[in-house]
């Protein structure tokens, strides 16, 4: 069922994209020969005017066929006979429609569930931001010179963090000037090798699992033990233990537990340092019910996602991220299914589906305007060259360029299968 929903979502996104081309072509008085839902052989066709509408056999995507788009036409309303600026607008309209729909979807979600801001709501005791002087209520504006549209921006930039100090700029209520501070994100934590059971708000202090060979295992701590004290500090929840260990680092500690109604103390347990994802130790404000705030949040989220796609492509080319992290159609379908599965009821599943659909719509919009042959961006690039040369490109050469681009795209999709299929099999 989830796979079916994934295909429906992807098809809708492509149809929205093609609808953008269709509307723009109509507004520009370009003859539209066909608007097709799905691909492959025709099942049904209707329409008495110049535009034929059809439903095709393969339930994936769709397309718009314009007069003079694929080959030269003498019709004055043909695509090839329109000014370069008009053609560029028609080509770009597909991506613009994807971005518009994504903003609309995210706005609906934000009105229903609320939205995150870049204002600090909570700082962990060992947070590097807190140590640098930031407080609850401060709003992060820049990280390492890059504007922060949405809290997810920080996760993106931390993903490629390779060490060293980073400047953070923020605004504080009542202070006119932009505040600046320098931090060094933490890339390691100190642990004793246990996991604890989870409560409604925060993980409790009951040991759920003990890692074999860990300091806790060597000391004799067992699953089911309830940690009540570390040295002289009372432990009521996981954060009490975690925060204390980050202060003492690898110094020996005494851990006291309750076991079967008795109190047992384990002396000189030495925490070990483990490499982890860079962490700032911060949680951000969450708002709900503000229409204008929801719209602004939706726009910020969209700008954040668009920028993340561009950065990801640059990092892929530069080698900061590997090709193994690239997903193709199989990976995307699997991801949609996993996201939808997270929902506990129909309404929640539907909202999760909307959320991933908006994210993919933004990705589709941005990817399509990359100046690569066979993509809309490739067509825009050729129109730009034509404008610079002041004469049209030979249709045969343009068709050859598009064909080469299409072959390369097919090869890329095949390559991503070698990434996606093992991940799906492993369930990762």
Residue 361 lies in a domain: yes
Q: What is the predicted pLDDT for the residue at 356?
A: 82
pLDDT-derived band at 354, boundaries 50, 70, 90: confident
Tell me: do 147 and 248 sit in the same domain: no
**What is the rounded average pLDDT of the residues 410-424?**
58
**What is the rounded average pLDDT of the residues 190-209?**
78
Neighbours of 87 (CB within 10 A): 25
- Of residues 7 and 303, more confidence is placed in 303
Residue 92 lies in a domain: yes
Q: What is the predicted pLDDT for the residue at 193?
A: 93
Of 34, 153, 87, residue with least CA distance to 383: 87
Q: What is the predicted pLDDT for the residue at 63?
A: 85
Residue 200 lies in a domain: yes
pLDDT-derived band at 301, boundaries 50, 70, 90: very high
Residue 331 lies in a domain: no
pLDDT-derived band at 275, boundaries 50, 70, 90: confident
Residue 297 lies in a domain: no
Tell me: do 158 and 214 sit in the same domain: no
Tell me: do 19 and 6 sit in the same domain: yes
115: tokens are: 């939205």
Task: Report which secondary-structure segment, H or E, holds 377.
Answer: helix 376-389
- Of residues 313 and 417, more confidence is placed in 313
Backbone angles phi, psi at 388, to 5 degrees: -70, -40
Point out the domain boundary residue: 273, 296, 311: 273
pTM over 0.85: no
Residue 336 lies in a domain: no
Q: What is the predicted pLDDT for the residue at 375?
A: 82
292: tokens are: 């204008």
Q: What is the predicted pLDDT for the residue at 238?
A: 84
Tell me: do 108 and 34 sit in the same domain: yes
Q: What is the predicted pLDDT for the residue at 201?
A: 45
What is the chain's mean pLDDT, rounded? 84
Does residue 338 have a pLDDT over 70?
no
- Tell me how many domains the chain contains: 3
261: tokens are: 């109604």
Question: Which of 94-103, 257-266, 387-396 is the least confident region?
Answer: 387-396
Does residue 73 have a pLDDT over 90?
no
Whichever domain contains 135, its CATH number is: 2.30.42.10
Residue 324 lies in a domain: no
- Of residues 426 and 351, more confidence is placed in 351
Q: What is the predicted pLDDT for the residue at 15?
A: 86
Does residue 339 have a pLDDT over 80?
no
Are 194 and 226 in contact, with CB atoms under 8 Å apart?
no
- Of residues 262 and 324, more confidence is placed in 262
CA distance 337 to 6: 6
Are 304 and 143 in contact, with CB atoms under 8 Å apart?
no
Point out the domain boundary residue: 236, 258, 287: 287
- Is beta strand 282-287 parallel, antiparallel or unpaired with respect to 146-147? unpaired
Tell me: do 201 and 181 sit in the same domain: no
Are 203 and 237 in contact, with CB atoms under 8 Å apart?
yes
Does residue 229 have a pLDDT over 60?
yes
**What is the rounded average pLDDT of the residues 212-233?**
94
Tell me: do 82 and 136 sit in the same domain: no
**What is the rounded average pLDDT of the residues 377-389?**
88
Question: Which of 78-82, 173-177, 199-203 is the least confident region?
Answer: 199-203
β partners of residue 186: 279
pLDDT-derived band at 235, boundaries 50, 70, 90: very high
Tell me: do 172 and 245 sit in the same domain: no
**What is the rounded average pLDDT of the residues 232-238?**
90
Percentage of residues in the chain having pLDDT higher than 70: 83
Tell me: do 131 and 163 sit in the same domain: yes
Tell me: do 259 and 360 sit in the same domain: no
pLDDT-derived band at 343, boundaries 50, 70, 90: low
Q: What is the predicted pLDDT for the residue at 61?
A: 67
**What is the rounded average pLDDT of the residues 329-347?**
57
Tell me: do 163 and 198 sit in the same domain: no
pLDDT-derived band at 416, boundaries 50, 70, 90: low
Are 107 and 93 in contact, with CB atoms under 8 Å apart?
no
Task: Give the domain extent around 357.
Answer: 2-112+347-426
Residue 10 lies in a domain: yes
pLDDT-derived band at 273, boundaries 50, 70, 90: very high
Angle at 146 between CA 316 and CA 155, to 5 degrees: 60
Point out the domain boundary residue: 244, 273, 302: 273
Q: What is the predicted pLDDT for the residue at 346?
A: 66
Q: Quickly list DSSP for 242-307.
A: HHHHHHHTTS-EEEEEEETTEEEEEEEE--EEEEEEEE--EEEEEE-S-HHHHHHHHHHHHHHHHH
Does residue 2 have a pLDDT over 70?
no
pLDDT in tens, 179-193: 999 999 988 889 999
Q: What is the predicted pLDDT for the residue at 99?
A: 95
Does residue 200 have a pLDDT over 50?
no
Of 192, 200, 428, 417, residue with least CA distance to 326: 417
Tell me: do 89 and 25 sit in the same domain: yes
Tell me: do 15 and 61 sit in the same domain: yes
């Amino acid at each position: 069922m989830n796979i079916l929903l994934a295909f429906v979502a992807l098809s809708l996104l492509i149809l929205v994209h093609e609808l953008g081309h269709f509307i723009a072509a109509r507004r520009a008085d370009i003859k539209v020969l066909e608007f097709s839902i799905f691909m492959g052989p025709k099942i049904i066709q209707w329409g008495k005017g110049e535009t034929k509408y059809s439903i095709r056999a393969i339930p994936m995507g769709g397309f718009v066929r314009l007069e003079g788009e694929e080959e030269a036409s003498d019709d004055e309303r043909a695509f090839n006979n329109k000014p370069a600026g008009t053609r560029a607008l028609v080509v770009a309209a597909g991506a613009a429609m994807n971005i518009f729909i994504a903003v609309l979807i995210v706005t609906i979600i934000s009105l229903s569930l609320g939205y995150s801001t870049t204002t600090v709501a909570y700082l962990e005791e060992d947070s590097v931001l807190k140590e640098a002087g930031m407080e609850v209520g401060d709003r992060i504006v820049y990280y390492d010179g890059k504007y922060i549209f949405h809290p997810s921006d920080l996760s993106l930039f931390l993903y490629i963090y390779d060490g060293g100090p980073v400047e953070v700029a923020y605004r504080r209520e009542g202070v006119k000037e932009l505040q600046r501070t320098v931090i060094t994100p933490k890339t390691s934590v100190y642990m004793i090798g246990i996991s604890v059971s989870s409560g409604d708000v925060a993980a409790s202090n009951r040991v759920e699992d003990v890692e074999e060979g860990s300091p806790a295992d060597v000391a004799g701590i067992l699953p089911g033990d309830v940690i009540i004290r570390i040295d002289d500090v009372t432990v009521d929840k996981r954060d009490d233990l975690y925060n204390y260990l980050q202060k003492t680092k690898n110094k020996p500690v005494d851990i006291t537990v309750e076991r079967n109604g008795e109190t047992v103390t384990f002396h000189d347990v030495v925490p070990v340092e483990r490499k982890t994802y860079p962490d700032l130790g911060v949680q951000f404000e969450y708002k709900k019910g503000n229409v204008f705030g929801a719209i602004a949040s939706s726009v910020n989220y969209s700008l954040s996602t668009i920028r993340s796609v561009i950065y990801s492509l640059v990092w892929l080319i530069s080698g900061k991220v590997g090709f193994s992290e690239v997903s193709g159609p199989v990976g995307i379908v699997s991801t949609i299914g996993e996201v939808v599965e997270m929902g506990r009821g129909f309404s929640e599943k539907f909202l999760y589906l909307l959320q991933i659909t908006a994210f993919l719509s933004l990705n589709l919009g941005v990817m399509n305007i990359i100046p690569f042959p066979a993509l809309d961006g490739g067509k825009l690039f050729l129109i730009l060259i034509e404008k610079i040369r002041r004469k049209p490109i030979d249709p045969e050469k343009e068709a050859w360029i598009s064909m080469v681009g299409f072959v390369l795209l097919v090869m890329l999709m095949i390559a991503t299968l070698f990434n996606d299929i093992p991940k799906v099999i492993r369930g990762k």
